[in-house]
Amino acid sequence: GAVVSQHPSRVICKSGTSVKIECRSLDFQATTMFWYRQFPKKSLMLMATSNEGSKATYEQGVEKDKFLINHASLTLSTLTVTSAHPEDSSFYICSARDGRTPGGGEQFFGPGTRLTVL
Amino acid sequence: GENVEQHPSTLSVQEGDSAVIKCTYSDSASNYFPWYKQELGKRPQLIIDIRSNVGEKKDQRIAVTLNKTAKHFSLHITETQPEDSAVYFCAAKFGNEKLTFGTGTRLTIIP
Amino acid making up residue A92: Y
pLDDT at residue B95 greater than cutoff 80: no
Q: pLDDT tens-digit profile of B1-35?
A: 789 999 999 999 999 999 999 999 998 889 999 99
Q: Note whether B21 and B12 are within 8 A (CB).
A: no
Q: Note whether A46 and A58 are within 8 A (CB).
A: no
pLDDT at A103: 56
* DSSP of B14-40: ETTS-EEEEEEES-TT--EEEEEEE-T
Which parts of chain A sit beneath pLDDT 70? 1, 99-105
pLDDT at residue B103 greater than cutoff 80: yes
* Residue, of B79 and B97, whose pLDDT is higher: B79
Mark which residues 9-68 of B lie under 8 Å from A by CB. Answer: 31-32, 34, 36, 41-46, 49, 51
- ∠ CA B105-B109-B111 to the nearest 5 degrees? 170
Spatial separation of the C-alpha atoms in residues A77 and B40, rounded to whole Å:
25
pLDDT at A97: 86
In angstroms, the Cα distances linking A4 to A7, A34, B43 are 10, 12, 10
How deeply is B70 buried, as exposed, middle or buried, from its count of CB atoms within 10 A (0-12, 13-18, 19+)? exposed
Q: pLDDT tens-digit profile of B51-84?
A: 988 899 999 999 999 999 999 999 999 999 999 9
Q: Of B42, B43, B46, which is closest to A106 when you measure between CB atoms?
A: B46
Spatial separation of the C-alpha atoms in residues B42 and A93, rounded to whole Å:
10
Suggest the residue from A21, A37, A44 to mutate for an interface test with chain B (most B CBs closer than 10 A): A44
